[in-house]
Amino acid sequence: MNFMLTLFTNILLALLLVTIAFWLPHMNIYAEKSSPYECGFDPMGSARLPFSMKFFLVAITFLLFDLEIALLLPLPWASQTNKLLIMLSMALVLILLLIISLAYEWVQKGLEWSE
């Protein structure tokens, strides 16, 4: 029954969105409007400025930690399984991996901003 209700709700929502998109006014896209604007003056400086590699490394580190934390999000649903010990041990391993990788970044001075 729950599956049928979910399926019906999803189909109804999809049909509603398609109907709304059909009835909304269509926008005409002109080639002139979608081309880049050229104002005619010379730029004051170069558009190719050097990029600090530190920004890139911090962004990659953030992405890695963010992905690892995203792996912990399904834990409340996984706690309803029959194999609670396996789920808790896997969560503990993932949290330990986060702690060890944070300590490694700290020791390697990957989180410091000094040049």
Render each residue's pLDDT in the chain as its tens digit; 115 residues. 889 999 999 999 999 999 998 888 777 677 666 666 667 666 666 667 777 788 888 888 889 889 888 888 888 888 788 888 888 898 899 999 999 998 998 898 887 876 6
Name the 3-class secondary structure at 6.
helix
Q: CATH classification of 50-107, choosing from 1.20.120.1230, 3.40.630.10, 1.20.58.1610, 3.30.930.10? A: 1.20.58.1610
DSSP sequence for 19-68 = HHHHHSPPPPPPHHHHSPP---PPPSS-S-----HHHHHHHHHHHHHHHH
Going by C-alpha positions, the residue among 66, 70, 76, 56 that lies closest to residue 101 is: 66
The number of residues making up the chain comes to 115
Ordered by start, the domain boundaries in the chain are: 50-107
DSSP H or E segment with residue 100: helix 84-107
